[in-house]
Structure 1
């Protein structure tokens, strides 16, 4: 895999500090801070850019979503257990993943999971 070939989401948020705190619970840390723009990463491949935007849509109208792939889904779920949207998750989904979902402070859907072995 070419390390320079990847995609990064730029996610708008109303409160940069609240969003940063939320994504830290999922395992991301601030790599660089540019005032109203922060770059977060986990050192293993997750990258997320947060852009402070006062007009960011709020739940239930927020159309944004992220899918974070990780091997140890249960460990991440333990860090945000009280915020998991669907009770009884993480669990195997019909589409072949083991996952759970949470909402970030602005209502963006964040799914965390892994592909199940075939």
Structure 2
């Protein structure tokens, strides 16, 4: 543990004033923590539009949408994507073209066929095999978030 030199409870102004302190022997955890889920929360203009897009074109299921349409969640198996309505132009710009979610799947071909046949009204990059050993396709959602679906090739 690192603590500032000087009075307890006061922060050091520079890292040169930090010194190592011992908090005693480390206590083992009863179990090793593990990640159960990582769920992105995307700022969107319209939660209902986003939920409908993910359900109709990508095969997600609707988990819930707040009555006032300020928040919604979709899921694919046990993996969720959350949407929060935003009117903040900077937040919406931060998503458009700058946010990507990589979704690793088994059996990518049927998923690609579903997306291809549904023909989403947003940019789509076809399923292809890459030199790094993955088969991938990309879909951009209505707010510009890039969804990259991938499966190990071979």
Give the TM-score taking structure 2 as reference length: 0.63
Who wins on radius of gyration, i.e. which is larger? 2
Aligned to 1:30: 62
My pick for the range that moved more, 23-32 or 73-82, is 73-82
- Deviation per CA, 1:42-64: give whole Å up to 9, x if none: 2x2321111111231288x5311
Q: How many residues of Structure 1 are paired with residues of Structure 2 in the alignment? A: 112
Structure with the largest fraction of helix: 2
Aligned to 1:9: 40
Q: Distance in 1 between matches of 2:39 and 2:94?
A: 22
**Tell me, which stretches of 5 or more residues in structure 2 are unaligned?**
1-32
Q: Distance in 1 between matches of 2:79 and 2:62?
A: 12
Distance 1:40 1:99, change over 3 A: same
**Pick from 80, 84, 88: which aligns with 2:115?**
80
**Tell me, which stretches of 5 or more residues in structure 1 are unaligned?**
none
Q: Distance in 1 between matches of 2:62 and 2:107?
A: 21
- Deviation per CA, 1:27-46: give whole Å up to 9, x if none: 2112122231111112x232
- Deviation per CA, 1:79-115: give whole Å up to 9, x if none: 22234633xx312112221110011001111111112
Distance 1:33 1:85, change over 3 A: closer
Deviation at 1:21, TM superposition (A): 1.5
Q: Which structure ranks higher in relative contact order (CA pairs < 8 Å, sequence separation ≥ 6)? A: 1
Give the TM-score taking structure 1 as reference length: 0.79
* Superposition map of 1:1-118 within 5 A: 5-24=36-55, 25-34=57-66, 35-42=69-76, 44-54=77-87, 55=89, 56-57=92-93, 61-81=96-116, 82-83=119-120, 85-86=124-125, 89-117=126-154
